[in-house]
Amino acid sequence: MIMIEAVDKWYGQLQVLSECSASIDQGEVVVVCGPSGSGKSTLIKCINGLEEFQKGQITVDREPIKSASTNIYKLRSKVGMVFQNFELYPHLTSIENITLAPMKVLKRSREECVQRARKLLQQVGLSAHGEKYPSQLSGGQQQRVAIARSLAMDPIVMLFDEPTSALDPEMINEVLDVMVDLAKSGMTMVVVTHEMGFAQRVGSRVIFMDAGKIVEDRKCPDFFSNPNSDRAKAFLSKIVKH
């Protein structure tokens, strides 16, 4: 479903991704982890073209990102994305946040979109909050609305960019529960996260990155029980300690 082939990216002189290659199949839940600044977020932002890369190619659903013939907007509409800071539209209610893209991009009717939005809000446990503005919701609730907003586009894959990093511990779980349900429903997911518990529960593979390189790409249980590289061993020993 997603092919990442030898992607290199520089910010000026600074190389932030080097020789990154990976492939993600339908229905897989791939967890991307690694220390801060290792290029995790940058890599998944390359998948929907929010970040440009200078070398290599990424193919989503057989369509190459870097190609004149690809309609990047159409491609993005098939790829859902959830951000660290939720990024809801603050001037719109939950329902309006969810219905904006389906109405304006997919040209669906308002009634159809609102109906779908209510169903999605129910799915993420927020049926009572459709008419509220983001500033009236807690962080965890905002992130769940953001997930519903992405799902409203019927994406073929969902990208999560540290979805729980800006949340306090109580709220982390309400968001993770939604993500676990989503994973179990068969959604293809790429998740940048430090939540190793989530990775162990539903992850099919772990991609471990350091300094812009993919250091390990392993089946989930193997990575935790028997990491290959010293860097991953050091990383795991540090985060499991507490």
Partner 1 sequence: MNYHWHWSILVEQPYLSWLAHGLAVTLTLSGLAWLIALPLGTLIAVLRTGPWKIGRVIGACYVRVFRNVPLIVQMFLWFFVFPEVVPKTFGFFLKRQLPFPEFTMGLLCLSFYSASRLAETIRSGLETAGSGPKNAALASGLSYVKTYRFVLLPMAFRLVIPPLTSEFLAIFKNSSVALAIGVLEITAESHQIESFTFQGFEAFTAATVLYALISLMCLILAGLFKRYLSNAGGLGAEVAIK
Interface contacts to partner 1, rule CB under 8 A:
48, 50, 73-74, 76-81, 83, 85, 87-93, 100-101, 104-105, 133, 135, 146, 149-150, 153
* CB neighbour list of residue 36: distance below 8 Å, 6 or more residues apart: none
Q: What are the backbone angles phi and psi of residue 30, rounded to the nearest 5°?
A: -105, 125
Q: How far apart are CA 165 and CA 145, in angstroms?
A: 16
Q: In the bound complex, what is the minimum distance in angstroms from residue 63's beta carbon to partner 1?
A: 13
Q: In the bound complex, what is the minimum distance in angstroms from residue 220's beta carbon to partner 1?
A: 26
Q: In the bound complex, what is the minimum distance in angstroms from residue 101's beta carbon to partner 1?
A: 4
Residue (104 or 233) nearer to partner 1, CB: 104
**Taking the alpha carbons of 223, 226, 229, 234 in that order, is the dihedral positive or negative?**
positive
- DSSP secondary structure string for all residues of 78-107: TEEEE-TT----TTS-HHHHHHHHHHHTS-
Residue (107 or 242) nearer to partner 1, CB: 107
Residue (95 or 215) nearer to partner 1, CB: 95
Q: In the bound complex, what is the minimum distance in angstroms from residue 156's beta carbon to partner 1?
A: 12
Q: In the bound complex, what is the minimum distance in angstroms from residue 45's beta carbon to partner 1?
A: 8
Residue (133 or 224) nearer to partner 1, CB: 133
* CB neighbour list of residue 177: distance below 8 Å, 6 or more residues apart: none
Q: In the bound complex, what is the minimum distance in angstroms from residue 163's beta carbon to partner 1?
A: 13
- DSSP secondary structure string for all residues of 102-116: HHHTS---HHHHHHH
- Helices assigned H by DSSP within the chain: 40-47, 72-77, 94-104, 110-123, 139-151, 169-184, 196-202, 220-225, 230-240
Residue (50 or 180) nearer to partner 1, CB: 50
- The count of residues in the chain is 242
Residue (1 or 166) nearer to partner 1, CB: 166
